[in-house]
Amino acid sequence: LRARVALNPASVVAPVSRRTFGSFVEHMGRCVYTGIYEPGHPLADEDGFRTDVLALARELGVTMVRYPGGNFVSGYRWEDGIGPVADRPRRRDLAWRSIETNEVGIDEFAKWAEKADVEIMYAVNLGTRGVQEALDVHEYINHPEGTHLSELRRANGAEKPYGIKLWCLGNELDGPWQTGHKTPEEYGLLAAATARALRSAEPDLELVACGSSSSIMPTFGSWESTLLEHAYDLVDYVSCHAYYEEHDGDLGSFLASAVDMDHFVNSIVATADAVGARLKSKKKINLSFDEWNVWYLSRFQSAPLPKEWEVAPRVIEDQYNVADAVVVGSLLISLLRHSDRVTAACQAQLVNVIAPIMTEPGGPAWRQTIFHPFARTAALAKGDVLRLEIQSPVYATEKYGEAPVIDAVATHDPATGDVVVFAVNRDQERAVEFAVDLTAFGTDLTVAEAWTLTDDDVRAVNTKDDPERVTMQPLTGVALDGGAATLTLPRISWSAIRFT
Ligand code: AHR
């Protein structure tokens, strides 16, 4: 089997957006408590943050973190999480049927974000709350000084405003499970009113309106269309959420999940552009793919949430295998390919909850398999994303019809001359040769590094006791002759090759 592509530095999709490498910290399960924050842990710093988790978040290359939810945010009172910790109320979190102690709120999270060197993407509650509360939390977070809430922030120890630029107008309000679920019309009006008010306070905020919570929602497309009829000029982004899993042993369809992600993105771009055309607007709405990952959602749906109300219960702590990691790598290929319109994205979530980083309370932190393709892509994708026309054999899938065996994206950094190819081989039996014509970059490129994630056992996982079972391996099958490269990609693999 053989696939081929020719790379051209003049054929640019868009610059790589650093916000593509976002993640998500929700007050859910053990993402915050015993995830990023565990004051009694031997490796906790003076603020109670686990330094082992901070180090792994930096190694992962996360650039931006969405906070504080998720479904959680739709019942959240942000002011519960400020001021002296001893005075903060314990509340029910209806989304995840757990107790929220409010030990961590925006002031603590902003400290963590500074240590992790990430931008915060902040979500306001438009489930049980509205315009006034959005304005209040904005005043607390971003207003410099001299007003009630900005002075309260200063009194709580943060003299300077946090300067958060990117704000989500609620979360998944199209979903009937969402506290405060709304019709498209209701949400469109509320998102527009909230956006208008926030912009009066700070005109150059970047605002993300909630799109559909998945492409199988009955209102998929019409939700975005109605919302944008109301809010087109007021928002910058529409959000997309998608989770993938292997159903009933159908590995072929699962490996082709990025075909669905491509279709999702193209559908929402077309929907947004159609509204723009109707409104005779020159503005383009971008996509914030602010929840994406592999998630064994059907397992969660068949196992109800704990009956008891607990603090930080173990919720959706999926353990990821090699195939899951290959799919995560391929979803990153899809996101990068759409860098002209998908300019922000968040893998959901960062720690413990469907996460690349796992922890044990009082114990170690380790990298799941899915950590590796994310970390390599975040480290290597620099400069411009190139437009590729890949010729690949195809295979039949149950879910998506014919899917290409090889999918890939490439970046070119004009500053260093580096060209990086990220490629997935979905064939379940065979290695595939991928011929990459680099002659448009001259004939003196060399291979600087070549990595692959693959394993004889595609079900292999990393655990607390065997945390390095699955890691990136050197990709040995790389031949380069003049500007002609041939990559031999192992079966079910994700690879990254940097030429310089
Ligand atoms: O990431 C887990 C949950 O998935 C989020 O809380 C919600 O927004 C989505 O349904």
What pLDDT score does 100 carry? 98
Q: State the pLDDT confidence band at 179, using cuts at 50, 70 and 90.
A: very high
Assess whether the C-beta atom of 70 lies below 6 angstroms from ligand 1. yes
Tens digit of each residue's pLDDT (9 = 90 or more) over 76-126: 999 999 999 999 999 999 999 999 999 999 999 999 999 999 999 999 999
- Domains located in the chain, CATH noted: 3-8+386-499 (2.60.40.1180), 17-380 (3.20.20.80)
- The pLDDT, as a whole number, for residue 500 is 96
Evaluate whether 56 touches 358 at the Cβ level (below 8 Å). Answer: no
Q: Are 98 and 23 in contact (CB under 8 A)?
A: no
Q: Which DSSP state fits 128? A: S
Mean local confidence (pLDDT), 229-244? 98
Q: What is the ipTM of this complex?
A: 0.99
- In this predicted structure, what is the pLDDT of residue 151? 98
Cβ–ligand 1 distance for 26 under 6 Å, the answer yes
- Give the C-alpha distances (Å, rounded to integers) separating 169 from 89, 205, 426, 462: 25, 12, 37, 36
Return the pLDDT at 412: 98
Going along 141-249, which residue ranges are E strands?
166-169, 206-209, 237-244
Summarize the confidence of residues 267-291 as an average pLDDT. Answer: 98
Which residue owns the Cα nearest ligand 1 atom 6?
70
Question: Looking at residues 381-385, what average pLDDT do you find?
Answer: 98
- Asked if pLDDT for residue 208 goes beyond 80, the answer is yes
Which residue's alpha carbon is at the smallest distance from atom 2 of ligand 1?
Answer: 70
Out of 31, 66, 71, give the residue to mutate to test ligand 1, the one with the largest number of ligand atoms within 8 Å of its CB. 71
Percent of the chain with pLDDT over 70: 100
Look at residue 467 in the predicted model and tell me its pLDDT: 98
pLDDT single digits (tens) 403-457 = 999 999 999 999 999 999 999 999 999 999 999 999 999 999 999 999 999 999 9
**Test site for ligand 1: of 73, 171, 288, 315, most ligand atoms within 8 A of the Cβ:** 171
Q: Does residue 64 contact residue 344 with C-beta atoms inside 8 Å?
A: yes
Output the six-digit token pair for 465. Answer: 């006791």
What confidence score (pLDDT) does residue 123 get?
98
Task: Name which residue sits closest to atom 1 of ligand 1, judged by CA.
Answer: 348
In this structure, are strands 98-100 and 310-311 parallel, antiparallel, or unpaired? parallel
Give the HSE-up count for residue 47: Cα atoms under 13 Å, Cβ half-sphere.
16
What are 120-145's pLDDT values in tens digits? 999 999 999 999 999 999 999 999 99
Query: Once rounded to an integer, what is the mean pLDDT over residues 370-396?
Result: 98
Radius of gyration of the chain (CA): 22
**Residues known to be catalytic:** 172, 291
**Ligand 1, closest atom to CA 96?**
6
| Model confidence at 46: pLDDT above 90 | yes
Q: Which of the four pLDDT bands, split at 50, 70 and 90, describes residue 294?
A: very high
| DSSP symbols for 286-311 | EEEEEEEEE--HHHHHHSPPPSS-EE
Measured in angstroms, how far is the CA atom of residue 409 from the centroid of ligand 1? 28
Tell which residue, 320, 323, 331, has the closest CA to residue 369. Answer: 320
**What is the pLDDT averaged over residues 366-380?**
98
Beta strands in 439-492 (DSSP E): 447-453, 473-474, 478-481, 484-489
pLDDT recorded at residue 1: 84
Q: Is the CB of 418 under 6 A from ligand 1?
A: no
The pLDDT-based confidence of 490 (bands split at 50, 70, 90) is very high
Check whether 261 has a pLDDT greater than 90.
yes
Closest atom, ligand 1, to C-alpha of 26 = 6
pLDDT score at 303: 79
Q: Is the distance from the beta carbon of residue 71 to the nearest atom of ligand 1 less than 6 Å? A: yes
pLDDT band at 370 (very low <50, low <70, confident <90, very high): very high
> What local confidence, expressed as pLDDT, does residue 304 receive?
73
**Mean pLDDT score of the chain:** 97
Does residue 74's CB lie within 6 angstroms of at least one atom of ligand 1? no
The pLDDT of residue 305 is: 76
> Mean per-residue pLDDT for 351-380?
98
Q: Is the pTM of this model over 0.90?
A: yes
Kindly give the distance from the C-alpha atom of residue 392 to the centroid of ligand 1, in angstroms, as a whole number: 35
At residue 306, the pLDDT reads: 74
